[in-house]
Amino acid sequence: MAELTVEDLHLKYGDNPILKGVALTLNRGEVVSLLGPSGSGKTTLLRAVAGLEVPHQGRIRIGEKTVFDGAARVDIPAEGRNLGLVFQSYALWPHKTVFDNVAYALKLRRISTADIATRVKEALAQLSLGHLAERYPHQLSGGQQQRVALARALVYNPPVILLDEPLSNLDAKLREEARAWLRELIVRMQLSALCVTHDQSEALAMSDRILLLNGGKIEQQGTPQEMYSSPQSLFTADFMGSNNRLTGKVVTIADGVAVLEGAGWTLHGAAKPSAKPGADGTAMIRLERVRLADGPGDNRLPAELSTSMYLGDKWEHLFHVGDASVRAYGDRPLAPGRQWLEMPRAEVWVF
């Protein structure tokens, strides 16, 4: 059942269009990530769902209730939408204790003091914040503040919880732990969550589904696996991972296999819809899919080793193939000079 439905949403600031017809659905117990570069409209979309931005066209439904309809002039204000929003900055009220921050939403709902105390304690305990109830926000660490912000958004059981870059204010090490913890919490509490992020690895790790936004439109959507391993456009392929790109001319396309020719090399790869015979094309392959080979063979390219970088768990090698540079991982340092690189046909996409 869809907890949140967005249809054909358009929004502009002045004359500047930010969202150009976005649609999405969020089902119960599902985590959907809005992913995209800055300026793609992902935060605007989240804020429009929350009621903090006013679209000029489209519909937003929460459960069965229409909260925005441009044509029917329905616009329920943010305070009437009963959603939970976790801000990027957490936006904890500095003049209220942790307890009061979390209790505020319940107070607004005229719940008795005794019930408020029980429910707030329960919520704080769920997020292991029980001992911090009397502290003020400035007395908490970044990770604790983030959990208070979550508790504040969850305590009144909103049908949908909106997360705006929930991890971006944490430092790198803490972020990975928080990511696992947040995913586990969402699954355990069966929350329906819409989460904005600009970090593709965060989106891959946290979500059931990813919506990739580009310039105010949805570029592609799907499960993390689909997004990563079968991108439909160059943009998606490029955004979802670390890639090598080789540009050349598409010679033929037959049975879904395209042949791309460059300066002194030829590659076979899966043809994507945008590839046309006779036109310029781009071959793309994930860094981790490039194999080091010991000699010529199918889809193998000769490459000059330029430099190697030690990354701790592996080596990253930089090669030159004609004018282009190609990177690949390896488990040991390489001798300088000519090497062969294998790019398996199934792993090469031609756009």
C-alpha dist (Å) from residue 153 to 53, 86, 120: 19, 6, 11
Question: Is residue 307 part of the contact set for other proteins (CB under 8 A)?
Answer: no
Question: Is residue 83 part of the contact set for other proteins (CB under 8 A)?
Answer: yes
Whether the CB-CB separation of 67 and 61 falls below 8 Å is answered with: yes
Q: According to CB under 8 A, which one of 89, 201, 223, 242 is a site residue for other proteins?
A: 89
Beta bridge partners of 36: none
Contacts of 177 by beta carbon, 8 Å cutoff, 6+ apart? none
Question: Is residue 73 part of the contact set for other proteins (CB under 8 A)?
Answer: no
C-alpha dist (Å) from residue 81 to 76, 144, 145, 313, 316: 7, 27, 24, 48, 49
51 or 241: whose CB is closer to other proteins? 51
CA 349 to chain centre: 22
Q: How far is the CB of 153 from other proteins (least distance, A)?
A: 7
Give ∠ CA 27-30-32 in degrees, rounded to 5: 95
Binding segment for other proteins (CB under 8 A), chosen from 6-14, 104-112, 227-235, 333-341, is 104-112
Question: Is residue 158 part of the contact set for other proteins (CB under 8 A)?
Answer: yes
Q: According to CB under 8 A, which one of 21, 143, 159, 344 is a site residue for other proteins?
A: 159
Which of 12-16's residues contact partners 24+ apart within 8 Å by CB, and which partners?
Answer: 12/56
Question: Is residue 340 part of the contact set for other proteins (CB under 8 A)?
Answer: no
Question: Is residue 109 part of the contact set for other proteins (CB under 8 A)?
Answer: yes
51 or 166: whose CB is closer to other proteins? 51
143 or 159: whose CB is closer to other proteins? 159
Whether the CB-CB separation of 336 and 305 falls below 8 Å is answered with: yes
Total of chain residues touching other proteins, rule CB under 8 A = 43
Q: How far is the CB of 107 from other proteins (least distance, A)?
A: 9
Q: According to CB under 8 A, which one of 10, 20, 69, 111 is a site residue for other proteins?
A: 111
CA distance 285 to 280: 17
Build a one-symbol-per-residue string for 237-276: x at contacts with other proteins by CB under 8 A, - elsewhere.
----------------------------------------
Q: Which of residues 32-71 bind other proteins (CB under 8 A)?
A: 50-52
CA 249 to chain centre: 32
Q: How far is the CB of 163 from other proteins (least distance, A)?
A: 12
Whether the CB-CB separation of 22 and 218 falls below 8 Å is answered with: yes
Q: How far is the CB of 91 from other proteins (least distance, A)?
A: 4
Question: Is residue 196 part of the contact set for other proteins (CB under 8 A)?
Answer: no
DSSP of 8-59: EEEEEETTEEEEEEEEEEEETT-EEEEE--TTSSHHHHHHHHHTSS--SEEE
CA distance 62 to 56: 18
Build a one-symbol-per-residue string for 127-156: x at contacts with other proteins by CB under 8 A, - elsewhere.
-------------------------xxxxx
Question: Is residue 278 part of the contact set for other proteins (CB under 8 A)?
Answer: no
- Residues at the site binding other proteins, with contacts judged by CB under 8 A: 50-52, 76-85, 87, 89, 91-95, 104-106, 108-111, 122-123, 126, 152-159, 162, 188-191
